[in-house]
Amino acid sequence: MTEQTTAPLPAETGAQSPLWVPGEPADIALPPGNLAEGLIRSAAAFPERPALHYYGATHDYGWLLAEVEWLAGYLVAQGLQPGGRVMIDLQNSPQFVIAFYGILRANGVVVPVNPMNTADELRHYAADSGARLAVVGEELLDRIQPLLGAEIDQVLRVRYADMAGDDPGQPLPGALTAPAPRPVSGCTDFQAALALNLPPPPLVAGPDDLALLPYSSGTTGRPKACMHSHQGAQFVAKAQAAWYRIDRHSVMTSFMPLFHVAGMMASMATAIYAGASLILMTRWDAGAIPGLFRRHRPTWWSAAPTMVVDVLAAPGFSDECFSSLRVVTGGGASMPAAVVARLRDKWGLRFCEGYGLTETISATHLNPLQEPKPQCLGLPIYNTHAVIADPETLDPLPQGDLGEILISGPQVMRGYWNLPEATAETLVERAGRLWLRTGDLGYADADGCYFIVDRIKRMINVSGYKVWPAECEMLLYRHPAVAECAVISAPDPRRGEAVRAIITLRDEDRGTVTAEDIIGFARELMAAYKVPRQVEFRDTLPRTGTRKIDWRALQADAWGKTP
């Protein structure tokens, strides 16, 4: 970390905002112990409470803890030592939950990876983290097999269908119905490992020990592993349960990918900490949601805006489907204004956006439930400080000015795994407080609510003028024909960079709206240098593993580079 000598940053907390809930504490007590203790407590308090709903099967907390402890016993029998790393390469499933908590219960460290990763990417994660054991979905074995006997010693092979039930209203995705692959040397069946009923070891990993090594998406170079302690991860689970008023009577969705910190913490870890029920889905299927929601009556739904749009248009959807919901939350993309209005007017739901990073193991900011602001990150949550600083000097800026968002709190990572120089660039110390440089450009309004404009590194330089793609996208979404859009930089022989808008149109407007229409519309809303010079229409836009629009892939394509 780097010690700065200029003026100290102000301690700006959400509790200073007029929107903070009256009587709500500014800070909550930091949870002690191991992250797995959240599951142990919930199972002890209500063992028969449903923990997981999965394609017609319901598994209670007592069952879940038993499976977790048997996996912990097996991992230790295979030589896992305290602090040893284990890779999880799974789609959303009960086995992911068991693997996650089983590794922690064995005093190990979870290394979650994206199931879309290639063999070369997996090789980097295994070699970099030092994980010698991996829990892998059987549909992904061909990618992990080249690592066996080299970077990876043993694989626990998961067949998702082993923990599914029979739900005629929810068709099983291909990952659950495909024939079993041929046996692979070095692979052990996950169910067979659990069936050994091996006892778990004493729980010795404590609050300050390493718990998780999730990899950042990596804007430049290879992804970096973020070191998170048990206490930091537990804090996020406890804080979100308190913020959203989640308890053992809550029913939560788990549709966002669990390998990603948003799904891992906001859905899974928060639910387990509070003793809530989770509805798991291995592959997103909007058509199955109406039946699932009628049957399980969810109270909390974490969704990308595209998910909400898909469900509202799904066959069989009716107003009754959303009648049990109390919270709809998400982040990372703008929710169309018409959808926001429909949620509010029809069901009294306010879309509550939030903000967090892999470096903060998810949430640092959340919108107040009673008064969320659109396209807003929200307020800094409990125990969390944030400030807008000059990206060059890191001096604090006046309210309303654009600058880099800096964050300090118990959820901030300890650093990047084996990368001291990158850690020193990202974590800075001022007046005894450690701050994370997010790399996000934003501002705070008079209520202390934070707004993001864009990634600092995503800026488009048009003849020396700065253009922030997210700002352009927000304005383009006002066009009634625009269903989705992404604004990127493209090469321009005269200006160096040009603004390019890549757009999907609503079905009824395809073939009637032209690039000139979009450019003319933009001229009414934007300064001349921000107006897209190039407009491209596509039927669909590429997605990341978390279903966000993959602007990096689009931009790499525009520049003829590999993303």
In a domain, 517, yes or no: yes
Please compute the mean of the pLDDT values over residues 400-408 and round it to a whole number: 94
Q: Is residue 67 part of a domain?
A: no
* 150 torsion bin: left (phi>0), alpha (psi -120 to 50), beta (else): alpha
Question: CB–CB of 487/474 below 8 Å?
Answer: no
Are 376 and 442 within 8 A, CB to CB? Answer: no
Say yes or no to pLDDT of 546 above 90.
no
How many domains, the chain?
1
Tokens for 23, please give them: 């009587």
Domain with 528, as residue range(s), is: 461-558
Question: Looking at the domain assignment, is residue 482 inside a domain?
Answer: yes
Q: How many whole angstroms separate alpha carbon 45 and alpha carbon 68?
A: 17
Return d(Cα 322, Cα 83) in angstroms, integer: 43
72 within a domain of the structure (yes/no): no
Mean pLDDT of the chain: 91
What's the pLDDT at 1? 47
pTM: predicted TM-score of the whole model, two decimal places: 0.84
Which whole-number Å values give the CA distances from 149 to 134, 137, 153, in the listed order? 12, 18, 5
326, 351 contact by CB (below 8 A): no
Residues sharing a CB contact under 8 Å with residue 285, sequence separation 6 or more, in sequence order: 170, 171, 173
Which pLDDT value is given to residue 561? 63
Least confident of 159-173, 219-233, 282-296, 495-509: 219-233
Q: Does residue 376 belong to any structural domain of this protein?
A: no
Judged on CB neighbours under 10 Å (0-12, 13-18, 19+), 76 is buried
Which band of pLDDT confidence, cut at 50, 70 and 90, is reported for residue 547?
confident
Does residue 526 fall inside a structural domain?
Answer: yes
Residues recorded for the chain: 563
The answer to whether residue 473 sits within a structural domain is yes
> CB of 271 within 8 A of CB of 43?
no
Is 537 inside any structural domain? yes
- CATH number, domain containing residue 483: 3.30.300.30
**Contact indicator for 105, 200 with CB cutoff of 8 Å:** yes
**Is 90 exceeded by the pLDDT of residue 298?**
yes
Band (pLDDT 50/70/90 cuts) for residue 381 is very high
- pLDDT band per the 50, 70, 90 thresholds, residue 223: confident
In whole angstroms, what is the distance from residue 348 CA to residue 244 CA?
16
- State the Cα–Cα distance between residues 515 and 424, nearest whole angstrom: 45
